[in-house]
Amino acid sequence: MKAIWAVIGLTTMAAATPATASETDKCAIRRPADSDLKVYAAHYFPKADAATIDALLACLGDPDPAVRDGFAFALWSEGLRGKQVEPALMRHANMRLQAVMAGPGDASGFRRPFAALALAEVARADRIEPFLTDVELHALAAAGTTYLRGVTDYRGFTVGEGWRHGVAHGADLMLQLALNPRLSRADADRLLAAIAAQVAPAASPYYVHGEPGRLAGPILYLARRSDIDDAALAAWFQSLHPDASPRWRDAYAGAAGLAAIHNSTAFASAIYVSASESKDPQIRRLAPLAVELIRALP
């Protein structure tokens, strides 16, 4: 490596955890000149303690996309996927990130979506090698679904600022939870409700950054569950059909109706393409339900 990263001002950073850091705080971790994340992760995480993890998580709210996304999240993902983070520290991060995700949004709008994305990596790590208790897994599902249902900042990619992508990042967390065989049916129902809330929400613009496909992903895996029968799936898709609200009554007369048609079509199409090509009969049963949704649209 051309440079070794060092955590600076560690005492200060321990106090400025992700849940309390101000919006103007910058990432206080030096990055290597060569950006060799794989090499550095192997040095960073085995020596990490709670304060070190807090310092890294604080970088997830940095306004610079190269720091927030290209460095902090990439390093976090590298560490978890490389199985270099101790379970106790993943538990610590789980609680810190949930606090950020549930907290007030910052004006720049980066911190909460990236907390959700970082939690998707925690959920993935637990899916592969369980370390969360059933109670902790349930709490993570509850926190994730509450976050996704509550997303109102629909900014995706902004030139010069990078990604926020609150809906997609929330959906990524739903995907990792949906894949977990320990997820209870009650938690699965929470995931379904949260995803339904963001398929074509009344306040959303036209989804143009891949949100429908990301929302479709967890639905495909939830359909593999033997405890979600055809009737339950049919009822869930029926909840996405047009209702008597003003935007649907005259959908082609305003932006709200047109966005609802666009977003619902994109979601149903993503489901149909994947389900119709799947060899899993549990997933294939989604295809006709997606077609019905498209036919129900104005």
Crossing angle between the packed helical segments 50-58 and 87-102, to the nearest 10 degrees: 40
Terminal Cα-to-Cα distance of the chain (whole angstroms): 58
Summarize pLDDT for 258-288 with one digit per residue, the tens.
999 999 999 999 999 999 999 999 999 999 9
Residue holding tokens 């199985």? 83
Nearest-angstrom CA–CA distance, 267 and 211: 8
DSSP reduced 3-state for 203: coil
- Looking at the chain, list the stretches that DSSP marks H as alpha helix, in order from N- to C-terminal side: 10-15, 37-44, 50-58, 65-67, 74-81, 87-102, 111-128, 134-150, 166-178, 185-199, 211-222, 230-238, 246-249, 255-277, 281-284, 286-296
Which one-letter amino acid corresponds to residue 114?
F
Which one-letter amino acid corresponds to residue 253?
A
State the average pLDDT for the chain: 91
The CB density around residue 70, as the number of other CB atoms within 10 Å, is: 15
Report whether 37 contacts 74 (CB < 8 A). yes
Looking at residue 24, what is its pLDDT? 46
Nearest-angstrom CA–CA distance, 254 and 133: 48
Nearest-angstrom CA–CA distance, 22 and 190: 32
Residues paired with residue 157 on neighbouring β-strands, in sequence order: 163
| Residue 57 burial (10 A CB sphere; 0-12, 13-18, 19+) | buried
Summarize pLDDT for 89-103 with one digit per residue, the tens.
999 999 999 999 999
Looking at residue 18, what is its pLDDT? 38
Positions of the chain with pLDDT lower than 50, given as ranges: 1-24
